[in-house]
Structure formats: structure tokens, C-alpha cells
Structure 1
Amino acid sequence: MTIDVSTQVHGAVGEIRFSKPPLNYACPALLREIANALEAFDGDDGVRATVLVAEGKAFCAGADLAGDDAIAGEAGMDAIGGLYVQAERIFRRAKPMVATVQGAAIGAGLGLALSADFRVAGPAARLSSNFVRLGFHPGFGLTHTLPRLLGQQRAAWMMLSAERVKPADALSWGLVDRLADAGQEREAALAMAGEIAANAPLALKAVRATITAELADAVAAAMRHEHAEQTALRPTADYAEGVASVFERREAIWTGR
């Protein structure tokens, strides 16, 4: 497993680039490095906003439920719990963040995209809460962040249908904030963060603290509930079938067991 997380500063904008080939699957180690970078930027008075950029074809195609031994193995729910510990750290940052969604943001990848304050999507972006297609329960705080962003009805549709939302619909729903041409997603996100960073730093932190008040606490509570529901569903035959069907690229045969 190769994980690379690097940072760069552009004036008052901090950039975090991450890579975990081939599809940037989420794992505790990757999120820990992202959270560490965000905390470092929180401590840098010269940085007023951040941009999260994924390298490669996908933004984050979800948690690696089959390929990552730590998550796929018998202790997998402990690893997923560790994933949520790091996710909470990301939500508890102090400064505004823009995520660059150039490709698939699926499952935990959607959760990571929604941990940002704003999102820029490219034409290849696909956003989906696909957990029910795996026989699983949504996680990463999505049961809180999706309704908060979209309203109850559209959030319920995303979680119960597993629809892959394309960029134009994502923009009209408010799931993303701006669209960019292919290959220009990073530049558009940096420009958006630059608009934020042009403003007074103390005011930026104060306003974000006000408008996200209790968000991290609510997400942490949601993740505790989600983890309990996922733990109950993990040993079911439907979960095993869901994961197998996705990786074998076939329709699942559900038994309700």
C-alpha cells in the first residue's frame, strides 16, 4: 500500500495533495496524513484556506472493503472505526477547505468530499452513497452531512438508491459548488480558495466556527451510530454478496440474510 500526502503553500492558500493508487481508497493511514496536514495548516498563521486535491483518475473510490486486509479482514470494523477517528479530526479543522472532485467520490470518498466546506467538480466526477449496493449502512457521517447539505428528501434518495450523481445534477442539488473543465479542477479549486483567503484571517475563522458550530460533534455522533449499524450488517450474507458482486461487476443476488 503506497500512500503519499504532500503539502504546498500558494500565498495564503494551503494545498494538500494525496495519492493511494489506483483509486485512492480510504484507509485510516491516508486520513491520518490528511488530518495531520490540516492541523499543520491550522497552526500556520499565513494560511487562511486549504484545498484538498487527489491525484489520479478518482477522487476517492471508497474504503477498500476487499483489497485492504485491515478493512476486509476479521478486525475490519476496528479499522473502519479508526477511519472515523481520523474523519472526525478532519471535520474539526479551523479553516475553510475546498475539495477538488475530478473523478469518482464513492461511499467513504463521498464522505471525504463532504468534509470540505466547498467542492469543485470536473466532467468525470461521479458522487454516490453506494453503501446499500454493498448490503451495508452509510458511514463517514453521511447520514448527517448529506441531509444537512441537500435536505432530507434528496439525501434519502442518494442513500437508498445508490445513484451516481453526475456533475450537472450535483451542481443543481448543491452537492458541489462549481464545475470546471477537465484538467482544470485543481486550478478552479485554488481560485475558489483564493477568493476566501483574500479576506481577513480572524474573521474567516470566526465565521466558519459560527456556521459549522456543533457540526463535528454531530458528525461524530452520526459515525458512532453508523459504525454500530455497519457492525450489525457486516456478518450478513447480503454484505458478503454485495461486496462480491461489486468487485465481480455483476448484479447482486440478495437473500435478506
Structure 2
Amino acid sequence: MKEHIAVTRHDHVATVVIDRPPHNHVNAALIGALADIFEECDRDDDIRAIVLATEGKVFCGGADLTGDRPLADESGESETPALYRHAVRLFAAKKPVIVAVQGAAVGAGLGLALVGDFRVAAPEARFAANFVTLGFHAGFGITHSLPRVVGQQHASLMLLTGRRVKAEDALRYGLVDEIAPLADLRATAQRLAAEIAANAPLAVEATRATLRADLAEAIRRRTDHERAEQDRLMKTQDFREGIRAVGERRAGRFVRG
């Protein structure tokens, strides 16, 4: 999956760009490759901050839940355990991460955006934890990472309604730190990264480690629980109906079964 990720470097900032059209869907291989790159950046003393961005209109449409065996690898086995192991690796990275969100960040795509310390968004950005719309339990550690950023009440609102949150509302929630015009989005994220990188790197890393103390371990514990609930709910009629309803752009007709 590294062929879908490009890395450039300038003035102590690494810009990591995912390009997996059309929706930049995540899977275990892609998140594993991204975690490898983050760990390579950790080992490079010349890199002091990371900008994470994607190509196209959609930041990340989450996992691809279409087909007869969603979230299964080529052998038919669930790839969710590997996906979440690699997600924990992202949260464990040592360098500050600024995420540039140009469009929809949905489901696991929202989870990916929450890996960052900061998020810069275009006005076109939308954020959605739409799992309940699909008859599904939230994953990617979102039940921990989202309340940590926006507070319990805003997180509950997003997780229990599945609604899409506009960029200006996300700014009010604290989910977004800055809104920038689409044409200037990546440059704005890079300027924030450069502002961080201009400081003493050991002090930045130590302060960040204190601020994020035990975060990766908390994500590991939470994804263990999320995966168990996802496995249970994927067997229900409501999950199958939720996938159909979203694909057909209609409200789900759920039966609690």
C-alpha cells in the first residue's frame, strides 16, 4: 500500500499524502503502511512535525463496507484486528501530526483525522461518525479519541445521531483548530507544522508525550471492545439493512434484530 502514500520533506516538516481514489478508503494494509512511515519519521531526527493529507475531494470515506464480506481480507478473514493494531501504532507515534481535511472524513476516516494533534479544515470539510446509521458500532478508537477532543456531550451527539458536522460547527466543537480556503489548506497545515518545528524538538516531543500520556494504550483497550461489538452487530439484520439503506440513499428500516 505504500504506492498510495507519498512523502515530501521541507524545513523539518514531512508531508504525508494518501492517494487511494476515489474515496481514500482505509484497510489494514494502508494503515499499516502509514504507521510504518510515521515510525520512519520518528527515527529521523531531521523531521520534527508531520502533515497528513489526502488527494481528491474526500479526505477519507472510512472502511469500504460494500460487498458480501465487508472488512474481510482476500482469504475471507476479518482484517479488523490488524487494522486496529496499526491504528494504535499511529497514536503511538512521537512526532506532532497536523491533519489537513479537505472534504468528508467519515467513520474510520474521522478516526484517522483524530490521530492528529491538530486539524486544519477547508470550508467544504464534513465530519461524521455515521456508524449507527449503518447498524454498526463505532471503531478505530473513536469512542475514546472523539470525546477526548470535543468533550463527552458533542461526541455523544455525533455518535448517537450519525449526523454530518460542517467545518464551522467542528471549529466550535474543538474538532477543528483552523479553517482555511481549500486552495490554501495544505499550506496552512504546513505553516502550523513549521511553527511547531521551529521550537526545541526534544522539548516539543517531551511535552507532547506528557499531553498524550497513555493515549495509545487507551486506544488499544478501546479498539478491543469496539471490535467485539462490531463483530456482534455485523451478524444482525439491522447491519445488513443499514448498509443497503446507505447505498440506496434512504433511511434505514431497522427492526432491532
User: Please, what TM-score do these two structures have when normalized by structure 2?
Assistant: 0.96
Equivalent position amino acid for 2:31 in 1: L
Question: Which residue is 1:121 aligned to?
Answer: 121
* Cα shift readout 1:171-227 (whole Å, capped 9, x = no counterpart): 011001010102211111001101100000111110111100000011110100000
Q: State how far apart, in whole Å, the 1-side matches of 2:85 and 2:184 are.
A: 32
Question: Which residue is 2:23 aligned to?
Answer: 23
C-alpha deviation, 1:18, in angstroms = 0.7
Question: Which residue is 1:35 aligned to?
Answer: 35
Q: Which runs of 5+ in 2 are unaligned?
A: none
Contact 1:2 1:21 in 2 (8 A): no
Contact 2:102 2:122 in 1 (8 A): yes
Question: Which residue is 1:162 aligned to?
Answer: 162
* Cα shift readout 1:3-28 (whole Å, capped 9, x = no counterpart): 51111101110111111111001111
| Farther-moved stretch of structure 1 (116-125 vs 77-86) | 77-86
Contact 2:171 2:178 in 1 (8 A): yes
Where 1:155 maps in the other structure, the secondary structure is helix
Question: Which residue is 1:205 aligned to?
Answer: 205
Equivalent position amino acid for 2:65 in 1: L
Q: Does residue 98 of the first structure (1) align with residue 84 of the second (2)?
A: no
Q: State how far apart, in whole Å, the 1-side matches of 2:97 and 2:2 are.
A: 25
Question: Which residue is 1:64 aligned to?
Answer: 64
Q: State how far apart, in whole Å, the 2-side matches of 1:117 and 1:67 are.
A: 34
Where 1:146 maps in the other structure, the secondary structure is helix
Question: Which residue is 1:221 aligned to?
Answer: 221
Equivalent position amino acid for 2:249 in 1: R
| Farther-moved stretch of structure 1 (165-174 vs 76-85) | 76-85
| Equivalenced residues, count | 257
Q: Which runs of 5+ in 1 are unaligned?
A: none
Where 2:250 maps in the other structure, the secondary structure is coil
Contact 1:77 1:231 in 2 (8 A): no
Equivalent position amino acid for 2:48 in 1: R
C-alpha deviation, 1:78, in angstroms = 2.2
User: Please, what TM-score do these two structures have when normalized by structure 1?
Assistant: 0.96
Runs of 4+ in 1 over 6 A off after TM superposition: 73-77
> Alignment identity in percent?
49
